[in-house]
Amino acid sequence: MSTKLDVYRFDPETDQDPSRKQYEVDLPEYGTVLEGLLEVRDAQDGTLSMRCSCRSAICGSCSMKINGQSRLACKTLISQIEHEGETITVDPMGNMPVIKDLVVDMDSFWDKMKTVGPYLKPEGPEPERENLVSNDSMMRLAVAMNCIMCGACVSDCTVLEVDKSFLGPAALAKAFRFAADPRDGHTEERLKSYVEPSGIWDCTRCNMCVQACPKDVEPMERIMDMRVMAIESGLTDSRGARHVEGFSNSVKHSGLLDEFALARKTFGFPKWGFELAPFGIRRLLRRRLPPIIHKGISTAKRVTRIFERLGV
């Protein structure tokens, strides 16, 4: 099966700007994108750089953008993504600087991973025998434990595109894995650090990390799990938690979102006035300012009853 690959090329030692190069390889129907790239490197162009090791979707080193989405090249069958005669595009991961061709600098990825303390910190005396935990609690962690730290979620994260300080989906999914482990003795301390700016409340829930993850870790869902854990443990004095509470209260009592009250609640008084003034003026000029006097819907009581039934 003849396959065309359109590959990103950049060598900082010789190139001023990145370029693209096209290759054609012959692969069996069950061939993967990684096999195509290795064929290029071994038989056509030995200067092509990429990372790979296990070729079995275990080591996580072959993550790259294939047809615009971050995936493991060794897990991506050409037959799955090639549509008759179309060229497959291959690019380095996003949100990380390119070192050469498809190889990116993952230092910031590992630095963020280290900041969440990716290991158990038990409290109290050493147990005399192994620390047994229930199956249920381990099942909750099992999804997060599947992470192979390939970086695909970070590569497609839309928050990191605009804010490099965000801890990111991979580090936060790892953070959940330890914060939710019953054997860990520092859950509260961990959660306190994750509710700080650049942590769990900075995720915009775009779902890109869920789609990119080749191991179904669903990092965004793990971040949401930690938001619930943080609120349940009383960490409610953060912008994110106040936003959730303000949103929920407004809809619960009026059936509609009171945008002014939400801003006041989220940012606190009088900060909200200063911080949101430029945004408010822009909306005013576009005549898109929400009503200053908030009116609920006529069936608000029914909405309240739904909230009460849900115990919210």
Tell the smallest beta-carbon distance from residue 41 to ligand FES (Å): 14
3-class SS string, 86-111: CCEEEECCCCCCEEECCEECCHHHHH
Residue 257 interacting with ligand FES (CB under 6 A): no
Tell the smallest beta-carbon distance from residue 176 to ligand FES (Å): 22
Q: Collect all residues with Cβ–Cβ distance below 8 Å to 244 and sequence separation of at least 6.
A: 227, 231
Site for ligand FES (CB under 6 A): how many residues? 12
Residue 74 interacting with ligand FES (CB under 6 A): yes
Cβ distance to ligand FES smaller for residue 59 or 99: 59
Q: What are phi and psi of 177, to 5 degrees?
A: -55, -35
Tell the smallest beta-carbon distance from residue 93 to ligand FES (Å): 13
Looking at residue 287, what DSSP letter applies? T
Looking at residue 32, what DSSP letter applies? B
Residue 103 interacting with ligand FES (CB under 6 A): no
Looking at residue 77, what DSSP letter applies? B
Tell the smallest beta-carbon distance from residue 76 to ligand FES (Å): 9
Residue 255 interacting with ligand FES (CB under 6 A): no
**CA–CA distance, 58 with 225 (Å, rounded to integer):** 25
Contact code string over 15-54 relative to ligand FES, x by CB under 6 A: -------------------------------------xxx
Out of 72, 78, 144, 212, the residue judged to bind ligand FES by CB under 6 A: 72
Query: According to CB under 6 A, which residues from 48 to 67 bind ligand FES?
Result: 52-55, 57-62
Q: Judge contact between 121 and 185, C-beta under 8 A.
A: yes
Tell the smallest beta-carbon distance from residue 61 to ligand FES (Å): 5
Tokens of 129: 């025998």
Q: Judge contact between 222 and 205, C-beta under 8 A.
A: no
Neighbours of 21 (CB within 10 A): 15
Cβ distance to ligand FES smaller for residue 58 or 231: 58
**CA–CA distance, 166 with 175 (Å, rounded to integer):** 14
Amino acid in position 207: N
Cβ distance to ligand FES smaller for residue 54 or 284: 54
Cβ distance to ligand FES smaller for residue 61 or 238: 61
Site residues, ligand FES (CB under 6 A): 52-55, 57-62, 72, 74
